[in-house]
Structure 1
Amino acid sequence: MPVVLAALSNGSDDDVKRRLELAVSGRANGERDRRLAEIALSGGLTEISDTLLARASRAPGFKSARARRLWHDGNLGDAVTALDGSGAAGRRLQARLAGERAVFAGAAPLLQRQDFTPVSGRVLHFLTNSLPHTGSGYAQRSHSIMAAQQEAGWDVLAVTRIGYPVQVGKFLARACDVVDGVRYRRLLPSRLALTMDARLQQQAEELLQVALQFRPSVLHTTTHFVNGMVVQAVAEALGIPWVYEVRGQLSDTWAATRGPEARGSEKYRLFQARETDVMRDADLVVTLGHAMKANIVAAGIPGEKIIIAPNAVGGAFLHQPVAAADARREVGLPEDGFYIGTVSSLVAYEGIDDLIEAYTLIARKRPDVRLLIVGDGVSRPLLQAQARRSGFSDRIIFTGRVPQERAVGYHRALDVFVVPRKDLEVTRSVTPLKPVEALACARPVVASRLPALMEIVTDGVNGLLANAEDSQDVALKLESLINSDELRTRLGRAGRQDVLDKRTWRANALSLNTAYERLLVVRR
């Protein structure tokens, strides 16, 4: 078991599977099989998990393991029921799962109406995470919008979810942070409620106290629906409008890690229903692009209630781009050669495995071409193993996660930026930020031919489109750019100009501020 756990933590998926298959072929051992079944489940090896679990029906922790297996597939009610009659540990797990299921079924916080007078021009943003403790695209988008809103004249306060960032290991975090003039408040009570439904109630009560002190005229929150539930309760207690920003389709993101059958599960159905409820109840819905807006309208939300605030750029990305070789020198990369690559979260749906395969086809003919992969994620060990097997690992560079302030340097270090996303429901709808940043750096983009990406990349105008999950087509499009300085320059210039014209955080902030003002006029 320690060896299997070590292989799992190192991302050695093939080794984990091989060792678990050996366990399946060996003699049954109830408690060992139960533990190995849970390890298999954590690695996504559900068939092996089921086989081991079937041999562990008399093991002490079988009911808990069975509940987690059902929960993994989205069978929330069955998971709770599976823990009936279990011991103390099982009862604690049952209470936790029952509380989460209650939230998915619609249990929302309740607050009493307050005597409240808002201050005009103040907005409170409620966030899942934030700078400086999390450097994700989510955190950076939030920060960029709020900084631009402040520059446009609004008084902004950000509040993060209860327990954050201590719950992600930042044990010395302060109750307040200021980043680029944007204030972040943390909700850090001495004790957290034990179940999700109770914790949302606690979170709403804590957020209400901050709002009573700050006195905003508008509340603004983001996906997913639990944030909307909390903010709706506070907004109704104060009698002020609230905004729900849909940045992704998280039910589809969850389903993408489970397989097509997950879309028929209880969790998926409830997840979508709660998202629809929150969008319906919000005073304004904000989203990233036209594909996402179409999905929201299809869920029954009036189109006139929705505005688009696309992923955008600001700061250093607006500065005049430098030559790729100069940028490589600045970030410590070899200056010579031709660089293709990406800046991305390393997760399965981003399709980095297809990019490595495409690069392998090119590298056999072009020894001067390197592949640069900037970022980190659960797929990184598997991708590094693929790079080693390719025979070109000496020319494939993994940087890991880089500080946000250095990201622009890595964008500029590339000659061509690639977005090789898989063809999934979530990737067809959600527009990423990184290709917009690449275009701002005057770098042409090769992207999968998916609706959300086609809102950013116009084939032959600012980049090239390739068939999703088709490494040969990706390689073909890359080679056309590698072989033509004129084409790269023309596409890069057009891409940068389009971003400057349409996709800046300042433009988004002005659009949001105008929408806020309309909400306030309606409320008067």
Structure 2
Amino acid sequence: MRILHILDHALPLQSGYTFRTRAILKAQMQRGWQVAAVSGPRQGAGDHDVETVDGIDFHRTQPGRAWPSPLQELNEIRRFARRIDRAVQAFKPDLLHAHSPVLDALAALRVAKKRGLPLVYEIRAFWEDAAVGNGTGTEGSAVYRATRALETWAVGKADAVAVICDGLRQDLLARGAAGDKIFVSPNGVDLNLFGAPLDFDAPLALSLGLHGKEVIGFIGSFYDYEGLDDLIAAMPALVASRPAAHLVLVGGGPMEAALRAQAAASPVAAHIHFIGRVPHTEVERYYSIVDVLAYPRKRMRLTDLVTPLKPLEAMAQRRLVAASDVGGHRELIRDGDTGTLFAPDDPAALAAALAALLADRGSWAARRAAGRAFVESERNWAVNVARYAPVYQKLIDSRASGDSWHRSPVNA
């Protein structure tokens, strides 16, 4: 079986999007499937038309000149479709697998129709809701409604649709999408890459002044919807009840300057540490020195519908997890078992939940074990990737070939 993945961006860029992509492609390769990918013009200019990164072949799409919207998006779709078509000629796939945003699906649909290939469209978040969450869009605006309509249209045209969580599936069903072509491929962790927790990194803790402290951590991107302002606002109350509590923020993003200013003005500024971005190869060192990973996402459509990846990584690292009680977190966390849930948009509730968790050390071992077991059994990519097999095979078998390309059976 030969699968061509169609991506907004990919390795060597590092993001939650590229890490999920890598996990999917590597797990499929381990099953014996032949895999390649095409990255879109938003990857940026590169030196190579095709390059291999981490054992995966990526066909690159060079960006064109900038145009005002919507001409920019239309031009990107045209350029991307031409590049996908060239990759199809070179790789000769049995199936196309496009990953959101919807521009990727629109480009892939052109090629699928031209080449008579089945298309799986995978939605990780609705583009219009992601724009609202990132502060670049407004819910209910003309652009929001147009993007939503395009998404619904693309779902109707694709042969099968994968979503990362049940929240997205239910939303599509409410739009009238056919339920028999939608399946859930949840976020997971590649335990071969990110599976063995490191021992406590004492030198790192000492260098940050955190040895012997109670460490709350966040590792990820600093977007407004992540609720990091609520986490910083919770720190005075937390430190009042737990004087050894410190907060470590690893990463960066659009809210970084505002968050740093907020932390500097806090009465417990000495308990708040910004690390900045670190190489992905160094992330596990920071997990090793954190007691509790906090995910205080704000309540909005994006966070209610979409499950994040970071809490799963924390569970895989046998870290305690505390998260806001929004829909995306409820699909991952069983309160009091695999993690702790607290009211969203409420710094006082966040501080109280963290203080109670820090005070209850007797439960830590069981919670860490439960979180790790959940990832191993239900969110391990070696297991998750099997969800694609029957969908791929059904689409390939039902499509009259009409050509000489070899279509091999799925490896069980």
- Amino acid of the structure 2 residue aligned with 1:357: A
Q: What is the CA–CA distance in structure 2 between the aligned matches of 1:307 and 1:332, rounded to whole Å?
A: 45
User: What are the Cα deviations for residues 193-216 of structure 1, in whole angstroms up to 9, with x where unaligned?
Assistant: 854324422321222012111100
Q: What is the CA–CA distance in structure 2 between the aligned matches of 1:280 and 1:199, rounded to whole Å?
A: 22
The residue that corresponds to 1:250 in the other structure is 127
Q: Which has the higher contact order (CA 8 A, sep 6+)?
A: 2
Q: What is the CA–CA distance in structure 1 between the aligned matches of 2:347 and 2:310, rounded to whole Å?
A: 20
Could you list the runs of 5+ residues in structure 2 that have no partner in the other structure?
Answer: 401-412
The residue that corresponds to 1:175 in the other structure is 49
User: What are the Cα deviations for residues 395-441 of structure 1, in whole angstroms up to 9, with x where unaligned?
Assistant: 21111112122223322321011110001111111111000100111
The residue that corresponds to 1:150 in the other structure is 29
- Amino acid of the structure 2 residue aligned with 1:344: G
- Amino acid of the structure 2 residue aligned with 1:394: A
The residue that corresponds to 2:85 in the other structure is 208
Q: Displacement, 1:346?
A: 0.3
Q: What is the CA–CA distance in structure 2 between the aligned matches of 1:259 and 1:178, rounded to whole Å?
A: 33
The residue that corresponds to 1:307 in the other structure is 183
Question: Contact 1:327–1:410 (CA<8 Å) still a contact in 2?
Answer: no
Could you list the runs of 5+ residues in structure 1 that have no partner in the other structure?
Answer: 1-120, 167-171
- Amino acid of the structure 2 residue aligned with 1:496: R
What SS does structure 2 have at the residue aligned with 1:402?
coil
- Amino acid of the structure 2 residue aligned with 1:157: A
Name the structure where strand makes up a greater proportion of residues. 2
Question: Contact 1:375–1:399 (CA<8 Å) still a contact in 2?
Answer: yes
Structure 2 residue 6 is the aligned partner of structure 1 residue 123: no
Q: Displacement, 1:259?
A: 10
Change (3 A) 1:154 1:392: same
- Amino acid of the structure 2 residue aligned with 1:187: T
Q: What is the CA–CA distance in structure 2 between the aligned matches of 1:501 and 1:330, rounded to whole Å?
A: 35
User: What are the Cα deviations for residues 446-501 of structure 1, in whole angstroms up to 9, with x where unaligned?
Assistant: 11111111011111111111000111111111111111211222111101101100
Structure 2 residue 328 is the aligned partner of structure 1 residue 452: yes
User: What are the Cα deviations for residues 21-66 of structure 1, in whole angstroms up to 9, with x where unaligned?
Assistant: xxxxxxxxxxxxxxxxxxxxxxxxxxxxxxxxxxxxxxxxxxxxxx
Aligned pairs for 1:2-81 (under 5 A) are none
Q: What is the CA–CA distance in structure 2 between the aligned matches of 1:489 and 1:153, rounded to whole Å?
A: 38
- Amino acid of the structure 1 residue aligned with 2:311: P
The residue that corresponds to 1:188 in the other structure is 62
User: What are the Cα deviations for residues 239-260 of structure 1, in whole angstroms up to 9, with x where unaligned?
Assistant: 1101111001221222346699
Count of matched residue positions in the alignment of Structure 1 and Structure 2: 395
What SS does structure 1 have at the residue aligned with 2:217?
strand
Question: Contact 2:198–2:284 (CA<8 Å) still a contact in 1?
Answer: no
Q: What is the CA–CA distance in structure 2 between the aligned matches of 1:173 and 1:350, rounded to whole Å?
A: 35
Q: What is the CA–CA distance in structure 2 between the aligned matches of 1:482 and 1:498, rounded to whole Å?
A: 22
The residue that corresponds to 1:231 in the other structure is 108
- Amino acid of the structure 2 residue aligned with 1:269: R
Q: Taking every aligned residue pair, what percent have the same amino acid on both sides?
A: 32
What TM-score do you get using the length of structure 1 for normalisation?
Answer: 0.72
User: What are the Cα deviations for residues 297-342 of structure 1, in whole angstroms up to 9, with x where unaligned?
Assistant: 11211222111111111134322x3444559459977432111121
Q: What is the CA–CA distance in structure 1 between the aligned matches of 2:30 and 2:374, rounded to whole Å?
A: 23
Q: What is the CA–CA distance in structure 1 between the aligned matches of 2:330 and 2:42, rounded to whole Å?
A: 38
Q: What is the CA–CA distance in structure 2 between the aligned matches of 1:343 and 1:357, rounded to whole Å?
A: 18
- Amino acid of the structure 1 residue aligned with 2:22: H
Change (3 A) 1:348 1:198: closer
What TM-score do you get using the length of structure 2 for normalisation?
Answer: 0.90
- Among candidates 263, 273, 287, match of residue 387 of structure 1: 263
- Amino acid of the structure 1 residue aligned with 2:226: E
Change (3 A) 1:410 1:303: farther
Question: Contact 1:324–1:415 (CA<8 Å) still a contact in 2?
Answer: no
> Which structure is larger by alpha-carbon Rg, 1 or 2?
1
User: What are the Cα deviations for residues 172-231 of structure 1, in whole angstroms up to 9, with x where unaligned?
Assistant: 643333222111121237x55854324422321222012111100011111121111100
The residue that corresponds to 2:252 in the other structure is 376
Change (3 A) 1:163 1:471: closer
